[in-house]
Amino acid sequence: MKKEKLIIIGSGPAGLTAAIYAARAEMSPLIFEGNEPGGQLMGTTEIENFPGVPDGTMGPGLMNRMREQAKKFGGRTEFKRIEKVDFSDPSTLKLWSGDEEFPAETVIVATGASARWLNLGKGEEKFWGKGYTACATCDGAFFRDKIVGVVGGGDSACEEASFLTRFASKVYLIHRRDELRASKAMQKRVFDNDKIEILWDKTVTDLRGEEKLESVELTDTQSGKASELKLDGLFMAIGHNPNTEIFEGQLDRHENKYLKVENFVKSNVPSVFIAGDCADWRYRQAVTAAGFGCMAALEAERFLAEKE
């Protein structure tokens, strides 16, 4: 069984940037693309804040070009998902996709995170990207002078609601309880902002519209009463889940299940490096993930050079 020099798990901006750097360093990385090749950006529309792209670019297009760039220098992609790992021997890391085993000298974990959705079981896919989104930083500017809602009561929801008031004429913060989970400072920002109205004790129970989202059904968590709220956009901010289950017992994780890193990208296993949203619950941007991917590839390269 051939032992790979470097296996990269994940094909979002972190994984593919790591792949570009590693491929250019002639490490011939093998990239496992997983179930969602391209990662979270495949679900976005236009990206206007990626440096060097002043006219904006579509998320899927950007990811396809990153993949092309990695392949151009010798990166190899597998449309497979790694389901199990054994990192107990740092000199031979073992990974499995189904019954197939892939041994490696180094691994970069770039498995990302997934936004939590409402799981209404209806309408969510239809409106995804058509008013229903999970990233205010990415999509906020498309809602200039429009009415939007933000679901959640944590720091993300408050931050996104505040950010959206730069564009939207009105922002509803829809929260399932009667108090916010967010820090006091973040709460104050929301309370002090005239454009934000908090709808307490409410959950979104239906998404409605013809071509794009036009309104939502709210259900009061106390009375059970339903009502309709007209809006142009609904931003989910009920948290993200890091995709780190397969590393349980193999890599150190925080209590919130994000992977622990030292010196930006180092894990507790010397031959395993970590990049992107699977370790970052704070910034979560394509450009920051790409930056961590670059760092992880440079560290993997250094690790192998020192070993040789």
What is the chain's alpha carbon radius of gyration, rounded to the nearest angstrom? 21
Binding residue (CB under 6 A) for ligand NAP from 156, 165, 244, 271: 156
- Binding of ligand NAP at residue 154 (CB under 6 A)? yes
Please, what is the minimum distance in Å from the beta carbon of residue 136 to ligand NAP? 11
Q: Applying CB under 6 A, which part among 23-31, 103-111, 154-162, 258-266 lies near ligand NAP?
A: 154-162
Please, what is the minimum distance in Å from the beta carbon of residue 194 to ligand NAP? 21
Please, what is the minimum distance in Å from the beta carbon of residue 106 to ligand NAP? 29
- Binding of ligand NAP at residue 295 (CB under 6 A)? no
- How far from 243 is each of 12, 33, 52, 86, 115, CA to CA, in Å? 12, 13, 29, 17, 10
Do residues 196 and 165 lie in contact, with contact meaning Cβ atoms separated by under 8 Å? yes
- The residues facing 206 across adjacent strands are 217
Residue 249 CB partners (closer than 8 Å, separation 6+): none
- Binding of ligand NAP at residue 254 (CB under 6 A)? no
Q: Is residue 135 annotated as part of the catalytic site, yes or no?
A: yes
For residue 205, the number of C-alpha atoms closer than 13 Å in the C-beta half-sphere is: 14
User: Whose Cβ is closer to ligand NAP: residue 4's or residue 280's?
Assistant: 280
Q: Is residue 139 annotated as part of the catalytic site, yes or no?
A: yes
Q: Which residues of 221-298 form beta strands (DSSP E)?
A: 226-230, 233-236, 240-242, 272-274
Please, what is the minimum distance in Å from the beta carbon of residue 188 to ligand NAP? 13
- Binding of ligand NAP at residue 200 (CB under 6 A)? no
Q: Which residues of the chain form beta strands (DSSP E)?
A: 4-9, 30-32, 46-47, 57-58, 76-78, 84-86, 93-97, 100-109, 113-115, 132-133, 147-151, 170-174, 196-199, 202-208, 215-220, 226-230, 233-236, 240-242, 272-274
Binding residue (CB under 6 A) for ligand NAP from 33, 139, 159, 232: 159
Q: Applying CB under 6 A, which part among 61-69, 88-96, 173-181, 258-266 lies near ligand NAP?
A: 173-181
Residues labelled as active-site residues: 135, 138-139
Binding site for ligand NAP (CB under 6 A): 116, 151-157, 159, 176-177, 181, 203, 237-239, 281-282
